Amino acid sequence: MRRSIASVSIGLLSGFTLLSLSGMGMAQAATAGSASTSAPRLVHRGNAYLNHPLGKSANKYHNGGSGFKIVASFDTSITQSPNAAAIEKGVKDDIDTLGRLISTPVTVTIDFASVSNGLGGSATYYNEEPYSKYRSDLTHQKARSTYDNQALRSLPTTSANPVNGNANVNLTLPLLRATGEAALGNTGNHVDSTVMLNTSIMNLSRTGPQDPAKYDLRQVAMHEIVEVLGAGGAGSGLLSNQVGSMDLFRYSSHGVRSYTTDPNAKAYFSVNRGVTNRGYFNQDSGGDYGDWSSDLNKRPQVQDAFSTPGLQLNLDTNEKIALDVVGYHVCGLDSY
C-alpha cells in the first residue's frame, strides 16, 4: 500500500487560496517579522497532523560544524516513547547527512513530533520575495556548480517570474536566509517548522528485522526536512497560482514551461531550459506537485509524492541538484 508523504498545502501563503480538503485543518497565519517586511505565513503540508499539545523536551540536537546546521527539538510524544532512542537516532542520522551535504552557513530550527495519523507532515513558515531579487541572490552565491550556472541561464532577468508572470516567488524561511535574506527569513520567536511523523507505521531502524508493510523512518523524515529547506513539495505553489522555487524548473519540453494541474500532463525537472529531463514531477492531486512522480520515473526516490513500504531510500543526485539550484551549496557536485 502506497501512502502520500507529499505535502498538500492547506494553509495560506500571502495570496494563496485556501483548499478545503476532507479531514484537513487550516494552518494559522503567523505574525513574525518586522514592520518593514511582509509577515511570514505558516503552511501545513502533508497528511500527518499534530493531534496533541506540543510539549518539547529541553534536550536539543544539532549537527556539528559552523556552516549548515539543523537544531532539532523533540516533542514529548517522542522523548517519552519506549522507542525514543531509535526515533531520535533516525532523525539525527538524517540531520548529520544533511550537515555533511550542505555547506551554506544557515541554521534551521525544527520541532519533531510523533503522531498517530497519516504518514508524514510539516508546518513550515514561508514568505514572499520579488522574483528579480531571488534571481539576483542566486547569482551572488559562492562556488556555483555547473547546475547552478545552467539554472541561472534558464531564469530571465525580468521583474516578473517566468512561470506565471507574477512579481513574487514564495520561499521557506530557511531558503530565504540561505540566499541572504535575513529580514524576510526572520522567524521571530518561532521555529522554522514542526515535522510530524507517524512512527507507529515505520521501521525505526535500518538494522535488524524489517517489517515489509512499514515505511522507513529516515526516508519519511528526510522527505519532510528537505521540504522545510524549500525543495521537494515545498517548492511548488501550483495549486494556488503562486510560484515556488521548484516551479522555476518545471518543463513539458525544451523551452516550454509547465504550470498546470492537468493529471495527464507530463512535467519534468530541468535546469537547462528543458533540454535534460531529470525526472518527472507528480501530477496526482492527492500528492504535491513539487514532489516526484511515483509512477513515471524509473526508480523510487525520497521526494516521491507517494511512498512504498519496505524500502530504504537516500537522497539521490536529482534531489541534491534540486537543493543546489534553489539556493544551497551542495558538496560533491561539480563546481567552478
As a whole-number percent, the residues of the chain with pLDDT over 70 amount to 87
Q: Residue 4's pLDDT is what? A: 65
102 sits in which H/E element: none
Query: What pLDDT is recorded for position 26?
Result: 27
User: Which cell is 124 given?
Assistant: 513550515
* pLDDT tens digits, one per residue of 82-119: 999 999 999 999 999 999 999 999 999 999 999 999 99
Least confident span in 12-21, 42-51, 211-220: 12-21
Q: What percent of the chain has pLDDT over 90?
A: 75
Average pLDDT value for residue range 44-50: 88
Q: Give residue 17's pLDDT.
A: 25
Pairing of strands 107-114, 306-307: unpaired
Residue 212 pLDDT: 97
Q: Which residue has the cell 524548473?
A: 249
Total residues found in the chain within this entry: 336
* 198 contacts 48 by C-beta, under 8 angstroms: yes
pTM recorded for the entire structure = 0.90
Per-residue exposure over 101-135, b if at least 16 CB sit within 10 Å of its own CB, e if not? bbebebebbbbbbbbeebbbbbbbbbbbbbbbbbb
Residue range 68-87: mean pLDDT, rounded:
95
Question: What is the per-residue DSSP string for 1-28?
Answer: --EE-S----S--TTPPPP--TT--PPP
Q: Is the pLDDT of residue 305 over 90?
A: yes
Cα separation, 221 vs 94, in Å, equals: 7
Does the structure show a pLDDT above 80 at 220?
A: yes
pLDDT tens for residues 313-329?
Answer: 999 999 999 999 999 99
145 to 38, 225, 322: CA distances (angstroms): 31, 23, 12
Grid cell, residue 189, equals 520567536
Between the alpha carbon of residue 182 and those of residues 15, 107, 186, 213, 330, the distances in Å are: 22, 11, 6, 43, 20
The CA–CA distances, whole Å, from 244 to 104, 164, 279 equal 20, 11, 18
Do β-strands 120-130 and 168-172 pair in parallel, antiparallel, or remain unpaired?
antiparallel
For residue 21, name the pLDDT band (cuts at 50, 70, 90). very low
Residue-wise pLDDT for 238-288, tens only, equals: 988 899 999 999 999 999 999 999 999 999 999 999 999 999 999 999 899
Torsion of CA 212, 216, 217, 223, to 10 degrees: -150
Round to whole Å and give the CA distance between 127 and 234. Answer: 12
Is the pLDDT confidence value at 196 over 90? Answer: yes
* pLDDT for the residue numbered 13: 27
> Mean pLDDT, to the nearest integer, of 181-205?
95
Residue-wise pLDDT tens digits, 129-160: 999 999 999 999 988 999 999 999 999 999 99
Q: What is the mean pLDDT of the segment spanning 199-216?
A: 97
- Per-residue model confidence as pLDDT tens digits over 4-15: 654 333 222 222
